[in-house]
């Protein structure tokens, strides 16, 4: 079958590009509480995951992040109901208030529940849920083991721990599916409290065996082997990294704070980044390892990263000129609106669903007639 000339060949996109795209999408979601824009961002992330995720175990965990996001929204609304949701003109219903002692003045349990407070909780919870789902999209699209291979040498130990941590949830999801399938084939129950014990124990045992196998494989490949560096070099590396991180935190505080001096913003942030990068490059010398067939950045990786960064930049620009659109008020009640600038940002975030190459699929050979 002939393929179109403009369709890229199936291949695996660099995991760093997916993580940059997802983090930029999370930054864009953090700049707004508009439920329409947040729903559009969630749709863009889900569309990219549906079209460009593979069939690996970590790609099956995106549904768990969706359920986690729904749980966050529900709990945020419940907190508004329990801890005082009556500040508003449109009272929906009234719950019996719980009397509290005098030292807890300012805190109220239950009582009248207003629509303004419920919408405020819904907006805040939806923003946090969108950020969580964006991180889940990165986990579903990026291969964690290839991400570990692409990390710089100074972050080797930290990256190993993070990769092992990120693979726990996908492995548990795959183990649950496999154990439930085996029980279904044996004619046993797969749902309910009675089946929980028969599913939990094999799942935990399988996860433990996989963890031990992963640790043995990493040890056999030389993970954790470090070279020797003089004491002065190690002290200098630690000082550069810590100083760079402090500079980044101070620069971010100065950039985000409206009343901060000008020199505490971008100049301190750039200086901190330079110090941190210098420390990472210097600390990478003590890691002795080789990389087999390293992943290269090509046009698809640049397109994915550019789409995410452009979406975050447009949302950041809209926050300064269209604050009323990105943060709709709940008092008085108003229907949220969507303007062209943030809508274009969402469209750019969804562009990798067609611009990035599709992941390679396993070929199934047909049996001879």
pLDDT digits (tens, 9 = 90+) for 50-90: 888 877 766 777 888 898 999 999 998 888 887 765 666 77
The stretch 322-333 carries a mean pLDDT of 78
CA-CA-CA-CA torsion sign (234, 237, 242, 243): positive
**Gap between the Cα atoms of 245 and 234, Å rounded:** 17
3-state secondary structure of 85: strand
**Cα–Cα separations (whole angstroms), residue 314 to 198, 270, 343:** 51, 21, 9
- pLDDT at position 329, please? 78
The H or E element containing residue 93 is: strand 91-94
Given pLDDT bands bounded at 50, 70 and 90, which one contains residue 258? Answer: low
**CA dist., res. 316 & res. 310, Å (int):** 10
**H/E segment holding residue 91:** strand 91-94
pLDDT value of residue 117: 80
As a whole number of angstroms, the distance between CA 28 and CA 84 comes to 30
pLDDT at 259 (0 to 100): 60
Tell me what pLDDT residue 87 has: 66
What the block records as the tokens of 126 is 């939806």
Q: Which two tokens stand for residue 52?
A: 């460009």
Give the model's pLDDT for residue 337: 83
List Cα–Cα distances, 160 to 20, 147, 150, 226, in angstroms: 19, 10, 11, 14
Residue 42 clears pLDDT 80, i.e. is over it? yes
| Residue (of 67, 72, 81, 82) closest to 119 by Cα position | 81
284: three-class secondary structure by DSSP: helix
Cα–Cα distance measured from residue 239 to residue 298, given in angstroms and rounded to the nearest whole number: 35
Distance between CA atoms of residues 14 and 304, nearest Å? 10
- Say whether pLDDT at 366 is over 50: no
Higher pLDDT, 117 or 198: 117
pLDDT at residue 365, as a whole number? 47
Task: Quote the CA–CA distance of 40 and 346 in Å, as a whole number.
Answer: 7
pLDDT band at 162 (very low <50, low <70, confident <90, very high): low
Q: Residue 107: pLDDT above 60?
A: yes
Q: How far apart are CA 217 and CA 210, in angstroms?
A: 10
Helices (H), the chain: 15-30, 35-52, 62-82, 115-141, 144-150, 156-166, 168-185, 193-220, 231-256, 266-283, 299-321, 323-326, 340-350, 352-355
- The token pair at 63 is 């549904």
**Does position 367 have pLDDT exceeding 50, yes or no?**
no
pTM exceeds 0.85, yes or no: no
* Confidence class for position 43, pLDDT limits 50, 70, 90: very high
Whole-angstrom distance, CA of residue 19 vs CA of residue 314: 19
């Amino acid at each position: 079958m002939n393929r179109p000339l403009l369709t890229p060949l199936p291949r695996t996109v660099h995991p760093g590009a997916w993580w940059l795209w997802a983090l930029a999408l999370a930054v864009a979601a953090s700049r707004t509480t508009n439920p329409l824009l947040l729903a559009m961002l969630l749709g863009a992330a889900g569309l990219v995951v549906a079209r460009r995720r593979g069939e690996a175990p970590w790609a099956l965990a995106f549904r768990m992040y969706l359920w986690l996001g729904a749980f966050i929204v529900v709990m945020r609304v419940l907190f508004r109901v329990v801890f005082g949701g009556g500040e508003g003109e449109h009272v929906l219903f009234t719950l019996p208030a719980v009397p509290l002692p005098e030292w807890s003045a300012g805190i109220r349990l239950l009582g009248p529940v207003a629509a303004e407070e419920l919408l405020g909780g819904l907006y805040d919870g939806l923003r946090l849920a969108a950020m969580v789902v964006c991180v889940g999209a990165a986990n579903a699209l990026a291969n964690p083991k290839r991400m570990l291979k692409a990390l710089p040498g100074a972050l080797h130990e930290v990256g190993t721990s993070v990769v092992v941590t990120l693979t726990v949830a996908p492995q548990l999801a795959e183990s649950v599916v496999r154990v439930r399938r085996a029980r279904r084939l044996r004619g046993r129950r797969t749902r309910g409290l009675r089946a929980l014990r028969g599913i939990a124990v094999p799942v935990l045992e399988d996860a433990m065996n996989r963890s031990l196998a992963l640790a043995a494989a990493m040890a056999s490949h030389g993970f954790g082997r470090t070279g020797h560096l003089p004491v002065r070099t190690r002290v200098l590396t630690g000082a550069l990294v810590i100083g760079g991180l402090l500079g980044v935190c101070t620069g971010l505080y100065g950039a985000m704070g409206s009343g901060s001096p000008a020199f505490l913003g971008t100049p301190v942030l750039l200086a901190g980044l330079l110090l941190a990068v210098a420390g990472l490059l210097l600390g990478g010398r003590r890691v002795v390892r080789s990389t087999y067939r390293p992943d290269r950045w090509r046009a698809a990786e640049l397109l994915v990263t550019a789409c995410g960064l452009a979406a975050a930049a447009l949302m950041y620009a809209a926050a300064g000129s269209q604050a009323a659109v990105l943060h709709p008020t709940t008092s008085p009640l108003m229907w949220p609106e969507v303007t062209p600038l943030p809508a274009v940002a969402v469209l750019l975030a969804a562009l990798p669903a067609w611009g990035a190459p599709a992941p390679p699929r396993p070929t199934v050979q047909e049996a001879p007639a």
